[in-house]
């Protein structure tokens, strides 16, 4: 896999989020497509030290914004990612109680996860033909939620544009690659049956092993 170098903008955002009280997972969700391990290793590289366990003092502007969005529909996790990226959902909930805000109705807390759909759509528009695992590395949504979004949107804006090579055994199950659009799905490749697989194994076993000739190597070195 090709290593993606960190940009100055990502480093600046990491330095800003590091003292905010967010976890590595929450910071990674705000610096897509960086993973938790990548964020933790970058913090070590930049010598930022361990994440602080203390609370970051809320600014008056943050309090005002929290009051403004408190009654908006969606989960606090969604509102945090959209409006207050330096604050976790738990921090927003605690601050809301401290400010004396009324408990959020269940109808507001129930999220349709439309933000995950938009995240998946954005990632696929930037880079088509991605598997669920690859999308999970680029989006804030979980592997399970992305799978559900694609299943619900299959044929309604998302289509299977290919299949990822099987890992491990040649008969392994292949993962679909997804893209944005309304095209017909690419049919999955036929799995290799046990009979054909055994034939391939026996054919590889019959191939003679390469014979090492030290004199040939020496001739090549002299000729060079």
Q: Please count the structural domains in the chain.
A: 3
Domain with residue 164: its CATH number is 1.10.10.10
Establish if 45 belongs to a structural domain: yes
Establish if 140 belongs to a structural domain: yes
Whether 114 has a pLDDT exceeding 80, the answer reads: no
pTM of the model: 0.43
Whether 203 has a pLDDT exceeding 90, the answer reads: no
Establish if 85 belongs to a structural domain: yes
Q: How far apart are CA 142 and CA 121, in angstroms?
A: 15
Cα→Cα distances 35→8, 26, 51, 118, Å = 17, 10, 16, 19
Pairwise pLDDT comparison (4 vs 56), residue with the higher score:
4
In this structure, what token pair is assigned to residue 110? 């129930």
pLDDT of residue 170: 46
pLDDT of residue 174: 83
Q: Same domain, yes or no, for 51 and 66?
A: no
The domain of 82 spans: 57-111
Q: How confident is the model at residue 223 (pLDDT cuts 50, 70, 90)?
A: low
Establish if 160 belongs to a structural domain: yes
Which is it for the CA torsion 25, 27, 33, 38, positive or negative? Answer: negative
The residue from 111, 129, 146 where one domain ends is: 111
Q: Same domain, yes or no, for 31 and 62?
A: no
pLDDT tens digit sequence for 121-177 = 888 988 999 999 898 888 767 788 888 889 888 988 899 999 987 654 444 578 899
Q: Same domain, yes or no, for 49 and 1?
A: yes
Whether 111 has a pLDDT exceeding 80, the answer reads: no
Establish if 198 belongs to a structural domain: no
Which of 20-34, 42-56, 59-73, 193-207 has the lowest average pLDDT? 193-207
In this structure, what token pair is assigned to residue 166? 């099987």
In this structure, what token pair is assigned to residue 84? 């207050």
Q: Same domain, yes or no, for 119 and 170?
A: yes
Q: Same domain, yes or no, for 64 and 123?
A: no
pLDDT tens digit sequence for 43-100 = 888 888 877 765 677 889 999 999 998 988 777 877 887 788 778 788 888 888 888 8
Q: What is the mean pLDDT of the chain?
A: 80
Q: How far apart are CA 81 and CA 22, in angstroms?
A: 12
Q: Same domain, yes or no, for 70 and 48?
A: no
Establish if 23 belongs to a structural domain: yes
Q: Same domain, yes or no, for 105 and 120?
A: no
The residue from 111, 128, 155 where one domain ends is: 111
Q: Same domain, yes or no, for 91 and 148?
A: no
φ, ψ of residue 181 to 5 degrees: the values are 150, -170
Whether 112 has a pLDDT exceeding 60, the answer reads: no
Q: Are the C-beta atoms of residues 92 and 76 closer than 8 Å to each other?
A: yes
| Residues whose CB falls within 8 Å of the CB of residue 219, separated by 6 or more in sequence, listed in order | none
Which is it for the CA torsion 97, 101, 104, 105, positive or negative? Answer: positive
Q: Same domain, yes or no, for 8 and 41?
A: yes
Establish if 107 belongs to a structural domain: yes
Q: How far apart are CA 111 and CA 77, in angstroms?
A: 10
Establish if 194 belongs to a structural domain: no
Q: How confident is the model at residue 18 (pLDDT cuts 50, 70, 90)?
A: confident
Taking Cα atoms as reference points, which of 142, 201, 131, 203 lies closest to residue 173? 131
Q: Same domain, yes or no, for 63 and 102?
A: yes
């Amino acid at each position: 896999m090709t290593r993606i170098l960190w940009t100055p903008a990502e480093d600046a955002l990491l330095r800003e989020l590091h003292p905010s009280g967010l976890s590595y997972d929450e910071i990674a969700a705000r610096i897509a497509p960086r993973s938790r391990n990548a964020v933790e290793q970058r913090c070590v590289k930049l010598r930022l030290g361990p994440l602080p366990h203390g609370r970051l003092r809320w600014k008056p502007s943050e309090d005002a914004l929290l009051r403004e969005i408190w009654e908006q529909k969606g989960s606090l996790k969604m509102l945090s990612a959209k409006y207050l990226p330096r604050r976790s959902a738990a921090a927003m909930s605690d601050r809301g109680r401290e400010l004396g805000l009324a408990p959020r109705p269940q109808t507001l807390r129930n999220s349709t996860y439309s933000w995950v759909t938009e995240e998946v759509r954005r990632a696929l528009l930037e880079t088509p033909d991605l598997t669920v695992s690859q999308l999970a590395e680029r989006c804030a949504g979980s592997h399970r939620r992305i799978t559900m979004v694609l299943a619900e949107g299959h044929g309604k804006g998302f289509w299977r544009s290919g299949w990822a090579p099987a890992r491990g055994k040649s008969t392994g199950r292949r993962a679909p690659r997804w893209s944005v659009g309304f095209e017909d799905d690419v049919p999955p490749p036929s799995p290799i049956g046990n009979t054909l697989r055994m034939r391939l194994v026996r054919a590889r076993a019959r191939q003679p092993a390469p014979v090492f000739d030290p004199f040939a190597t020496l001739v090549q070195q002299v000729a060079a």
